């Protein structure tokens, strides 16, 4: 086989073997209509460097324990006609967490004025801790500061020792994902430094505060703004619930943006 098997293909093959051994995956137990999803093309060879396109959409209905209807994804104002027979990795953002499977498109049609695709699972549904996250461009007020030595040591021991009395510096989060943030401010933080990032998000109509530990992956000065710095910060030891709320916030904001583009 040219290029060998990619990690995604191995995942799908293992999933299909597991389905043969254990039967259906109880899709309706974990996934509900309205759940946000990502649909990603399966790479055909491990030597392919090109990143596959990822589409955002949502579950329309559960047809059986191995078949579901999905709203056709859109790019700007155009429907994306994914090919019948195409195989994809599907990520489900559910109330119970993030799940993954491989699925094949078996039909495309229109129902009740909604363009849909029917997908058939070709691997078991499994809980997934992803390494990469969809990033949302934004402008969110934030506060950042370096950790004290005591806080840093506690974080390394997977404990929390956050001191709310230590002052923080202003910043603006310019993109956010379930894995971290990119922010701009007037204070420079060293790369690999441990920091706390505090910000508010509107979750289910209520403003919620998050104070998250992070590691500075990259720091650079902004040429067009003397004295300003941009940082990429990776979340560390973040609570599963907090990460999932952030991911849900991102998908809700993306949905609002798509509706606005369509003039709804």
Question: What pLDDT, in 10s, does the model give residues 180-204?
Answer: 999 999 999 999 999 999 999 998 8
Q: Identify whether 181 is part of a domain.
A: yes
Q: Identify whether 261 is part of a domain.
A: no
Question: What pLDDT, in 10s, does the model give residues 17-26?
Answer: 444 333 345 7
Domain stop point among 109, 127, 145: 127
Q: Identify whether 1 is part of a domain.
A: no
CA torsion sign for 102, 108, 111, 116 is positive
Q: Are residues 56 and 23 in the same domain?
A: yes
What pLDDT sits at residue 261? 67
CA torsion sign for 154, 155, 158, 160 is positive
Question: What pLDDT, in 10s, does the model give residues 37-83?
Answer: 989 886 554 444 344 677 889 999 999 999 999 999 987 778 999 99
Domain that holds residue 215: 136-256
**Cα–Cα separations (whole angstroms), residue 78 to 75, 88, 106, 122, 258:** 5, 20, 21, 28, 11
116 touches 71 (CB < 8 A):
yes
| Res. 6 pLDDT band, cuts 50 70 90 | very low
CATH code of the domain covering residue 121: 2.30.110.10
Q: Identify whether 212 is part of a domain.
A: yes
Q: Identify whether 264 is part of a domain.
A: no
Q: Identify whether 2 is part of a domain.
A: no
Q: Are residues 248 and 163 in the same domain?
A: yes
Give how many domains the chain has, as a whole number. Answer: 2
Q: Are residues 26 and 67 in the same domain?
A: yes
């Amino acid at each position: 086989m040219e290029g060998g098997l990619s990690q995604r293909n191995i995942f799908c093959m293992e999933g299909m073997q597991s389905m043969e051994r254990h039967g259906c995956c109880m899709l309706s137990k974990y996934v509900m209509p309205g759940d946000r999803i990502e649909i990603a093309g399966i790479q055909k060879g491990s030597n392919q460097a090109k990143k596959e396109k990822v589409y955002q959409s949502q579950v329309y209905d559960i047809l059986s324990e191995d078949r579901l209807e999905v709203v056709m994804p859109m790019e700007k104002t155009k429907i994306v006609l994914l090919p019948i027979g195409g195989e994809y990795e599907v990520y489900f953002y559910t109330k119970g967490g993030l799940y993954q499977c491989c699925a094949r498109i078996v039909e495309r049609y229109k129902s009740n004025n909604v363009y849909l695709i029917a997908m058939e699972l070709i691997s078991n549904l499994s809980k997934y801790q992803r390494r990469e996250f969809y990033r949302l461009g934004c402008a969110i007020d934030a506060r950042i500061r370096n950790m004290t030595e005591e806080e840093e040591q506690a974080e390394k021991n997977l404990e929390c020792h956050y001191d709310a009395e230590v002052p923080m510096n202003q910043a603006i989060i310019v993109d956010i994902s379930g894995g971290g943030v990119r922010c701009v401010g007037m204070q420079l933080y060293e790369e690999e430094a441990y920091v706390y990032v505090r910000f508010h998000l509107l979750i289910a109509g209520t403003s919620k505060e998050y104070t998250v530990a992070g590691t500075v992956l990259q720091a650079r000065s902004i040429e067009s703004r003397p004295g300003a710095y941009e940082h990429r910060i990776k979340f560390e030891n973040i609570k599963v619930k907090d990460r999932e709320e952030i991911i849900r916030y991102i998908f809700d904001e993306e949905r609002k943006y798509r509706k606005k583009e369509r003039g709804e």
